[in-house]
Amino acid sequence: MTLPIVITPGDAAGIGPEVALKAALEFGVDKLFFAGPRWLWQQAAQQFSVPAPDQIMPVPALRGVRPQRVRYGHVSATWGRVALECVRAAAQACIAGTAAALVTAPLTKAGIHAAGYHYQGHTDFLADITRAPRHAMMLSTGRLRVMLVTIHQALRSVAECLTAERIRTTIELAHLACSQLGIAHPRIAVCALNPHAGENGAFGTEERDIITPAIVATAHLNASGPYPADTVFLRAHRGEFNIVVAMYHDQGLIPIKLLGFERGVNSTIGLPIVRTSPDHGSAYDIAGRGIADHRAMLAALRMAARLARHCPAA
């Protein structure tokens, strides 16, 4: 029997439960477990006129949370707690070998902070509870895949945080991600930081002093570059590279969201479990209205299934 994928509701006051239930219908509800209180999923199913799921995975830490109506579009400590405790229980199921993968609906930092959790989101929470020594975020849409060296920080601080070791680790995780996707000999492109890849030092020396040494150290992984960011994503989209290592958040996410905003998937690589998520937020502005687009969640479910097939012992 194939192990199920566990899906979490994210922030119940956002679009998480809606896109989860809609995507599940198209993916196959029988292949999924839904983490969290049954009444929460039943309430969402009624709100969005879809069948309520039968396969519910209880979350022991939430036994004391009584049924209550969701106020869509409002930050709530209750929903922040529900969001992260569902993730914790689902991750533990993956570690225990009772689930194949974890797919997380979007949560809000404000919600989990209101609940007293000191995390920035899913990624650092999962890295903490699974004790993953290294991890990275891979964004994908269609054939374009991007892995980030730095994520959520001020742009002016990026150059100071770049080290050859950090870039080398990200390249290694990019190679791991491709291997987990079944790509036998991945071609890894590494972005430059500066325009024109620094133009031989005219626009900066990070390429020469930091990025190139990391590429040389990972030449056995078929990494190459550094390539100017204004052309490398087009080359990858056309199939020349299997994945691009980007130096900072917007450098990598702008092409992903331009090419496939409705289908973007975020995968955390380096965890001992498979975890994916739609690459969008909780969308408080449209929450509860039944108009949320579920295609990114569906893509996240399909990505999780693909990753789980190639790394069943993740």
Nearest to 32 by CA among 258, 304, 277: 304
Domain of residue 22, residue span:
1-132+271-314
Mark whether 125 and 142 lie in a shared domain.
no
Mark whether 139 and 110 lie in a shared domain.
no
Mark whether 15 and 78 lie in a shared domain.
yes
**Dihedral (Cα; 204, 251, 106, 88), 10-degree rounding:** -40
Q: What is the pLDDT of residue 65?
A: 94
- CA-CA distance, 15 to 48, in Å (whole number)? 11
Q: What residue ranges of the chain have pLDDT lower than 70?
A: 1, 312-314
| Local structure of residue 123 (DSSP, 8 states) | H
Nearest to 196 by CA among 230, 164, 153: 230
Mark whether 145 and 256 lie in a shared domain.
yes
β-strand pairing of 136-141 with 144-148: antiparallel
Mark whether 187 and 314 lie in a shared domain.
no
Gyration radius of the chain's alpha carbons:
20
Q: What is the pLDDT of residue 131?
A: 94
Q: What is the pLDDT of residue 188?
A: 98
HSE (side-chain half, CA atoms, 13 Å) at 194: 17
Mark whether 4 and 115 lie in a shared domain.
yes
Q: What is the pLDDT of residue 2?
A: 83
Mark whether 106 and 193 lie in a shared domain.
no
- CA-CA distance, 232 to 242, in Å (whole number)? 11
| Helix 38-47, helix 16-27: angle, nearest 10 | 80
CB 150 within 8 A of CB 248: yes
User: Of 243, 262, 281, which residue is a domain's last?
Assistant: 262
CB 41 within 8 A of CB 9: yes
Count of domains observed in the chain: 2
- CA-CA distance, 267 to 300, in Å (whole number)? 8
pTM for the whole structure: 0.93
| Helix 16-27, helix 295-310: angle, nearest 10 | 60
Mark whether 128 and 4 lie in a shared domain.
yes
Mark whether 198 and 305 lie in a shared domain.
no
Mark whether 122 and 219 lie in a shared domain.
no
Q: What is the pLDDT of residue 1?
A: 44
CB 261 within 8 A of CB 142: no
DSSP string across 162-176: --HHHHHHHHHHHHH
- What are the b/e assignments for 120-155, b being 16+ CB within 10 Å? ebbbebbbebbebeebbbbbbbeebbbbbbbeeeee
Q: What is the pLDDT of residue 313?
A: 46
Mark whether 219 and 258 lie in a shared domain.
yes
Mark whether 111 and 3 lie in a shared domain.
yes
Cα end-to-end span (Å), the chain: 18
Q: What is the pLDDT of residue 199?
A: 86
Report the CATH number that the domain containing residue 60 is assigned in CATH: 3.40.718.10
